[in-house]
Amino acid sequence: MLKRILVTGGAGFLGSHLCERLVEMGHDVICLDNFFTSQKTNVAHLLGRPNFDLIRHDVTMPIWLEVDEIYNLACPAAPGHYQFNPIKTMKTSVLGAINVLGMARRCRAKVLQASTSEVYGDPTEHPQRESYRGNVNPIGPRACYDEGKRAAEALFMDYHRSNRINIRIVRIFNTYGPRMHPFDGRVVSNFIRQALCGEDITLFGDGSQTRSFCYRDDLVEGLIRMMDAPDEFIGPCNLGNPHEFTVRQLAEMVVELTGAKSKIVYEPLPADDPTRRQPDISLARTNLGWEPKTQLREGLTKTIDWFHKIKLTDYRPPTPNY
């Protein structure tokens, strides 16, 4: 059945690919974004489509729309971006959640929250299952994001329990791919940009910290399956690739795949940087029949190809913190 679907943060890295998929499926798609960490060019190719609308709007402000489904992705996601204006980051998560939940109540729409593995903080349980309550520093530099996302999860659950809103919560683990902002400071975009520009690769700490990297297309498939899952399964549900790598292994792979002459240099580990991160995706496997298909080497090759094609000068660094 064709639906009217709102994607907040729809011009971003994940949001733009999600909009693309939903437009291709024939749905009536509204992309809402304030372009804080993205730009219109990410969705420019969709602008002529009769089933695609673009609204420049801030999700912290109410808006009146008629929709059947909402994917709530609006929030800066890279550490440098969310720490740039931490108070705004918290407002985006909390007021954004309240606004989309209010809209869902009025329209009787289904609403999915893009939560994050950051709700687990620096985890003491490994791999991380959804039942793990996390180890977040509530007063550290990542708290604006981690606690904002945790508050949003609480709001989603309370609207569900109090108002019977049809919700979904997914916890997304590190995802990469084409259309990442080249200056977002995230590890994959940083390493690739540095390698292609012949700059040093900046490894924070000793590079032994781990992450599990999911390719964009796999992740977006998981988002759509979660939205379409039976109403009994609201999550939270981890979405990510369970293959764990050290950040040093990632740096070496990027150097190898780009054929760069860059050398690896060591810089201090940022405060509260999680030491290990790996999703347990049993719930997603069982309830959504979902698991990532793209290996890191293959996904990185596609991402590097995309970075080769873009002109870095077409991108405005969103913050001075890249």
Q: Which of 76, 79, 279, 299 binds ligand UDP (CB under 6 A)?
A: 79
Give me 118's structure tokens: 């950051």
Q: Is 152 in the site for ligand NAD (CB under 6 A)?
A: no
270 binds, among ligand NAD, ligand UDP, none (CB under 5 to 8 A by kind): ligand UDP
Task: Report the alpha-carbon distance of residue 32 to residue 47 in Å, rounded.
Answer: 13
Q: Which residue has the tokens 């909390």?
A: 94
Give me 317's structure tokens: 């660094």
Tell me which of 71, 82, 145, 322 is the catalytic residue: 145
Mark 49-64 as b/e (b = at least 16 C-beta within 10 Å). eebbbbeebbbbeebe
Q: Which of 33, 130, 147, 217 binds ligand NAD (CB under 6 A)?
A: 33
How far lies 177's CA from each of 17, 218, 219, 304, 311, in Å?
10, 10, 10, 9, 16
Q: Three-state SS for 266?
A: strand
Q: Is 81 in the site for ligand UDP (CB under 6 A)?
A: no
Burial class from Cβ neighbours inside 10 Å (0-12, 13-18, 19+) for residue 186 reads buried
Q: Residue with the closest Cβ to ligand NAD?
A: 12
Q: Per CB under 6 A, which region of 34-42, 83-91, 158-166, 186-194 contacts ligand UDP?
A: 186-194
Q: Is 318 in the site for ligand UDP (CB under 6 A)?
A: no
Query: Is 137 in contact with 272 (CB distance < 8 Å)?
Result: yes
Query: What single letter denotes the amino acid at residue 262?
Result: S
Shortest reach from residue 41's CB to ligand NAD, in Å: 12
Q: Is 179 in the site for ligand UDP (CB under 6 A)?
A: no
Shortest reach from residue 78's CB to ligand UDP, in Å: 6
Q: Is 132 in the site for ligand UDP (CB under 6 A)?
A: no
Q: Is 181 in the site for ligand UDP (CB under 6 A)?
A: no
The DSSP secondary-structure symbol of 268 reads P
Task: Report the alpha-carbon distance of residue 26 to residue 315 in Å, rounded.
Answer: 30
How far lies 20's CA from each of 5, 78, 243, 259, in Å?
12, 22, 27, 32
Q: Per CB under 6 A, which region of 67-75, 86-94, 184-192, 313-321 contacts ligand UDP?
A: 184-192
| Closer to ligand NAD by Cβ: residue 149 or 260 | 149
Q: Per CB under 6 A, which region of 30-38, 192-200, 204-212, 222-230 contacts ligand NAD?
A: 30-38
Determine if the peptide bond prior to 127 is cis (ω within 30°). Answer: yes
Q: Is 119 in the site for ligand NAD (CB under 6 A)?
A: no
Q: Which of 74, 201, 220, 283 binds ligand NAD (CB under 6 A)?
A: 74
Give me 239's structure tokens: 């979405």
Determine if the peptide bond prior to 236 is cis (ω within 30°). Answer: yes
Q: Which of 172, 226, 237, 283 binds ligand NAD (CB under 6 A)?
A: 172
* 215 tagged catalytic: no
How far lies 286's CA from each of 113, 172, 289, 291, in Å?
20, 17, 6, 10
Q: Is 294 in the site for ligand NAD (CB under 6 A)?
A: no
The residues binding ligand NAD (CB under 6 A) are 8-9, 11-15, 33-38, 58-60, 73-77, 92, 114, 116, 172, 174-175, 181
The residues binding ligand UDP (CB under 6 A) are 78-79, 174, 186-187, 190, 202-204, 209, 211, 247, 269-270, 273
Catalytic residues: 145
